C-alpha cells in the first residue's frame, strides 16, 4: 500500500487518466468536420475516425484486464498510458487518412489496457471502506464529466488552435502520468508461479469481439445483410462460441465464468451496455443538431455543451448521498429516469431553435449520466475478489463499448427505415436531419426505461454495512 502522503497524488493520476479516456471519445466529434476537410475524408470514411477508437477499445478490453492482473496493474498502467500518448502524438502529426485512423486505433488499444488497470489500482492503493468508496466515486465521476467536457474542449481547440490540438492535448498529460506513476502507485498483481495467459482464449475472444464490433459499426453504411459485412458477424459469433468452450476447459481461463455469479457484476455489465446504448449516442446526435441543423461553428457547438458539463459535475457530487439513501439499484434507476426525461425533452428540439432549447434536456441528462456512470463501476467492483478486479473492470467496460456500437447501429437502422432516405446523416437537409435526431432521442428514452427495470431486477440490494460505509464517505 502506498504511503498516505502519496494518496492524493495517486488518486489524481488515476482520476485524470479516466478523464482523458472519456474526454478522448467525444473531443473528436466537434473536430471531425475540420479534419475531414483537411485530410479529404469522404462522409462514409470519416466515421472511422471515431470507429477505429471504439473498435480497438472494445476488442482488447478483456486481454487488457487479464494482462493487468498477471503482469502487474501499475506496470500495465504505465505501458498503456505510453501507448495512449504515442497514439495521440501520431494523430496530431497525421497528414494522411490512414495514419490518422491507425493513430486512433493505437489510442483505443492504449485505453483498453488502461481502463482495467486504473480500477484495479484503486482497489489495491486504497483501503476497503470509506477511503476506497471516495476514490471510486472520484475516479468514475471523472469519466462522466470527461464525456461532456470533451465536446466543449474540442470546440475551443479546433476553433482557436486547429483539430491537431485535440490530439496533442493528451501528450503532456500522458508524460506526467508516466513519470508520477512509479512514485505514487503501489504495484499489485496476482501471486502466481505459472502465469498462464490462455493464448487460445485470448485470440478467440479478441478476434471475435473485433469482428462483431466491426459488423455493428459498418452495417448501417453497407447494409445489415450485405455480403461485405455479414461474414464478419458469422465468423465473430463462431469465435466467441469457441471462446466459451475454451474457457470451460483451461485451468487458468482469461475470463472465469464463475465471476458472473456475482449479481452486482452482471447487473453492472448490463447497465453499462444500456448506458452506452442511450447516453452514449447523445454526443453524436447533439453535435449533428448544433452543426447540421443550427449551423453553429465548432466553438459555438462546443460552448452549447457547457450546461451539460456543469450538470454532470454537479451530479457527481450527489452520488454518495444517493447511494446512502437508495443504494446502487435506486441510484442507477434514478439516473436512468432522469435520462428518460431529458431525452424526451430533446426529442422536441426545433429546426429553427437555439441553444436555449437544448438546456433543459441536457442539464437533466447530465445529472442522470453522472449517477449512472459512476454507480455502475462501483456496483461492478462490489464483492469481486481482489485478484479478479482487472478482469471484472474489463467486463463492465466491454459492456459499455459493445452497448455504444449496438445502440448507434440500432438507431441508424431505425432512422434509415423510418425516413426511407438513402442519404447519410451528414448530407441530409436540416428538416430531415432534425426528424432523424428526434427518432434517435426517442429510442434512447426507451432504452433508459429498460435500464430502470434492469437496475431493480439484476442488481443486488445494498446491505446496511455497505450503506454505513457510503455514509461515512459522504461525510468524508
Q: Would you state the pLDDT for residue 419?
A: 63
Residue 188 lies in a domain: no
Residue listed under C-alpha cell 472520484: 138
Q: Are 384 and 246 in the same domain?
A: no
Of the residues 253, 273, 295, the one at which a domain ends? 253
Q: Which of 229, 253, 277 is the last residue of a domain?
A: 253
pLDDT digits (tens, 9 = 90+) for 265-306: 999 999 999 999 999 889 889 988 998 899 988 788 888 888
Residue 342 is assigned to a structural domain of this protein: yes
Mean pLDDT of the chain: 85
Element holding 391 (H helix, E strand):
helix 389-419
pLDDT > 70 in the chain, percent: 91
Where does the pLDDT of residue 475 fall: very low under 50, low under 70, confident under 90, or very high at 90 and above? Answer: very low
Q: Tell whether 301 and 445 lie within a shared domain.
A: yes
Predicted local distance difference test score (pLDDT) of residue 194: 54
Same structural domain, 164 and 133:
yes
Residue 132 and residue 239 in one domain: no
Determine contact, residues 433/94, Cβ cutoff 8 Å: no
What's the pLDDT score for residue 441? 96
Quick check: is 193 in a domain?
Answer: no
Q: Over the stretch 228-245, which tens digit does the pLDDT of each residue have?
A: 889 999 999 999 999 999
The reply to whether 248 and 296 lie within a common domain is no
Return the number of other C-beta atoms located less than 10 Å from residue 70's C-beta.
Answer: 20
Are 258 and 384 in the same domain?
Answer: yes
Among 253, 273, 288, residue at a domain's last position: 253
In sign, the C-alpha dihedral spanning 396, 398, 400, 402 is negative
Which residues are CB-neighbours of 227 under 8 A, at least 6 positions away? none
CATH number at residue 84: 1.20.1250.20
Q: Which tens digits make up the pLDDT trace of 83-110?
A: 999 999 999 999 999 999 999 999 999 9
pLDDT number for residue 268? 93
Q: For residue 25, is it within any domain?
A: yes
| C-beta of residue 137 within 8 angstroms of C-beta of residue 316 | yes
Q: What is the extent of the structural domain holding 86?
A: 8-183+254-474
**Other beta carbons within 10 Å of 263:** 16
Please report whether residue 2 resides in a domain.
no
Same domain, 258 and 380: yes
- In the predicted structure, residue 463 carries a pLDDT above the cut 70: no
Q: How many domains does the chain have?
A: 2
**Nearest CA-CA partner of 190 in 77, 68, 14:** 68
Q: Tell whether 179 and 246 lie within a shared domain.
A: no
Using the predicted structure, report yes or no on whether residue 388 has a pLDDT greater than 80: no
Query: Quick one: 295 and 370 in the same domain?
Result: yes
User: Is 220 among the domain residues?
Assistant: yes
Let me know if residue 192 belongs to a domain.
no
Q: Is 416 found in the same domain as 290?
A: yes
Which residue matches cell numbers 503482469? 71
Asked if residue 348 and residue 411 are part of one domain, the reply reads: yes
Q: Are residues 106 and 228 in the same domain?
A: no
Amino acid at each position: 500500500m502506498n504511503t498516505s502522503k502519496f494518496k492524493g497524488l495517486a488518486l489524481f493520476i488515476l482520476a485524470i487518466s479516466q478523464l482523458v479516456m472519456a474526454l478522448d471519445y467525444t473531443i473528436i466529434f466537434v473536430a471531425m468536420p475540420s479534419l475531414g476537410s483537411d485530410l479529404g475524408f469522404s462522409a462514409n470514411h470519416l466515421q472511422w475516425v471515431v470507429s477505429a477508437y471504439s473498435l480497438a477499445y472494445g476488442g482488447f478490453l478483456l486481454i487488457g484486464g487479464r494482462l493487468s492482473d498477471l503482469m502487474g496493474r501499475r506496470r500495465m498502467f504505465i505501458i498503456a498510458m505510453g501507448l495512449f500518448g504515442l497514439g495521440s502524438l501520431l494523430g496530431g502529426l497525421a497528414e494522411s487518412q490512414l495514419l490518422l485512423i491507425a493513430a486512433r486505433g493505437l489510442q483505443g488499444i492504449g485505453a483498453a489496457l488502461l481502463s482495467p488497470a486504473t480500477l484495479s489500482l484503486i482497489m489495491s492503493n486504497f483501503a476497503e471502506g470509506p477511503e476506497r468508496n471516495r476514490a471510486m466515486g472520484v475516479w468514475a465521476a471523472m469519466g462522466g464529466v470527461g464525456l461532456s467536457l470533451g465536446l466543449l474542449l474540442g470546440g475551443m481547440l479546433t476553433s482557436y488552435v486547429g483539430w491537431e490540438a485535440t490530439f496533442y492535448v493528451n501528450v503532456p498529460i500522458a508524460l506526467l502520468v508516466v513519470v508520477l506513476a512509479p512514485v505514487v502507485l503501489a504495484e499489485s498483481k496476482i501471486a502466481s508461479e505459472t502465469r498462464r495467459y490462455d493464448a487460445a482464449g485470448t485470440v478467440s475472444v479478441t478476434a471475435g469481439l473485433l469482428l462483431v464490433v466491426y459488423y455493428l459499426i459498418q452495417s448501417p453504411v453497407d447494409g445489415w445483410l450485405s455480403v461485405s459485412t455479414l461474414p464478419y458477424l458469422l465468423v465473430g459469433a463462431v469465435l466467441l462460441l469457441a471462446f466459451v468452450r475454451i474457457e470451460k476447459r483451461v485451468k487458468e481461463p482469461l475470463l472465469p465464468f464463475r465471476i458472473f455469479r456475482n449479481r452486482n457484476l452482471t447487473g453492472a455489465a448490463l447497465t453499462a451496455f444500456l448506458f452506452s446504448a442511450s447516453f452514449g449516442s447523445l454526443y453524436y446526435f447533439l453535435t449533428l443538431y448544433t452543426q447540421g441543423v443550427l449551423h453553429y461553428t465548432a466553438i459555438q457547438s462546443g460552448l452549447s455543451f457547457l450546461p451539460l458539463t456543469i450538470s454532470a459535475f454537479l451530479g457527481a457530487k450527489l452520488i454518495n448521498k444517493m447511494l446512502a439513501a437508495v443504494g446502487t439499484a435506486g441510484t442507477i434507476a434514478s439516473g436512468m429516469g432522469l435520462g428518460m426525461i431529458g431525452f424526451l425533452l430533446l426529442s422536441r428540439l426545433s429546426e429553427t431553435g437555439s441553444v436555449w432549447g437544448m438546456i433543459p434536456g441536457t442539464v437533466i441528462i447530465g445529472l442522470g449520466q453522472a449517477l449512472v456512470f459512476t454507480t455502475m463501476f462501483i456496483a461492478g467492483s462490489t464483492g469481486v475478489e481482489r485478484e479478479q478486479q482487472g478482469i471484472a473492470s474489463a467486463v463492465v467496460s466491454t459492456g459499455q463499448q459493445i452497448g455504444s456500437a449496438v445502440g448507434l447501429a440500432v438507431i441508424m437502422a431505425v432512422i434509415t427505415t423510418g425516413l426511407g432516405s438513402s442519404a447519410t446523416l451528414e448530407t441530409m437537409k436540416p428538416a430531415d436531419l432534425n426528424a432523424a435526431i428526434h427518432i434517435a432521442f426517442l429510442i434512447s428514452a426507451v432504452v433508459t426505461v429498460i435500464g430502470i427495470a434492469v437496475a431493480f431486477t439484476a442488481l443486488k440490494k445494498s446491505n446496511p454495512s455497505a450503506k454505513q460505509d457510503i455514509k461515512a464517505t459522504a461525510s468524508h
